[in-house]
Amino acid sequence: MKNDSVFLIAEAGVNHNGDVELAKELIELAAAAGADAIKFQTFIPEALVTTTARKAGYQKTAHEESQLAMLQALALPLPVFDELKAYADSKAIEFMSTAFESESLALLSQLAVRRYKIPSGELTNLPFLIEHAALQQDLILSTGMATLGEIELALASIYWGRVQKDYPPSISALRKAWIERDPSVALNTTLLHCTSSYPAAPDTVNIRAMTTLAEIFQLPVGYSDHTQGTTASIMAIAKGARVIEKHVTLDKTLSGPDHRASMSPAELHEWVAVCREAVSMLGDGNKQPQTSEMDVKQAARKSLVAKTAIRKGDVFTSENLAIKRPGTGRPPEDLFSCLNQTATRDYLADEFIE
CB 71 within 8 A of CB 48: yes
Rounded-to-integer distance, Cα 194 and Cα 334, Å: 56
Which pLDDT score, from 0 to 100, does residue 337 have?
A: 98
Q: What is the DSSP letter of 59?
A: G
Query: Tens of pLDDT along 8-59?
Result: 999 999 999 999 999 999 999 999 999 999 999 999 999 999 999 987 755 5
Task: Give the pLDDT confidence of 231-253 residue by residue, as tens digits.
Answer: 999 999 999 999 999 999 999 99
Which residue, among 34, 122, 42, has the nearest Cα to 82 in the 3D structure?
Answer: 42
Query: β-strand 321-324 against 303-306: which pairing, if any?
Result: antiparallel
pLDDT at position 257: 86
Write the burial class of residue 127 (CB in 10 Å: 0-12 exposed, 13-18 middle, 19+ buried): exposed
DSSP string, 117-167: EEPGGGTT-HHHHHHHHHT-SEEEEE-TT--HHHHHHHHHHHHHHHH-SS-
pLDDT at 65: 77
pLDDT of residue 58: 56
The parts of the chain modelled with pLDDT lower than 70 are: 1-4, 57-64
Are the beta carbons of 200 and 148 closer than 8 angstroms?
A: no
pLDDT of residue 223: 99
Rounded Cα gap, residues 144 and 224, in angstroms: 9
Domains of the chain in sequence order: 7-282 (3.20.20.70), 291-338 (3.90.1210.10)
Chain centroid offset of residue 285 CA: 18
Q: What angle do CA 279, 285, 290 make, to 5 degrees?
A: 90
Residue 140: strand pairing partners = 117, 190
pLDDT of residue 1: 45
Q: Residue 196 corresponds to which amino acid?
A: S
Q: Please give the pLDDT value at position 233.
A: 99
CA atoms within 13 A on the CB side of 235: 16
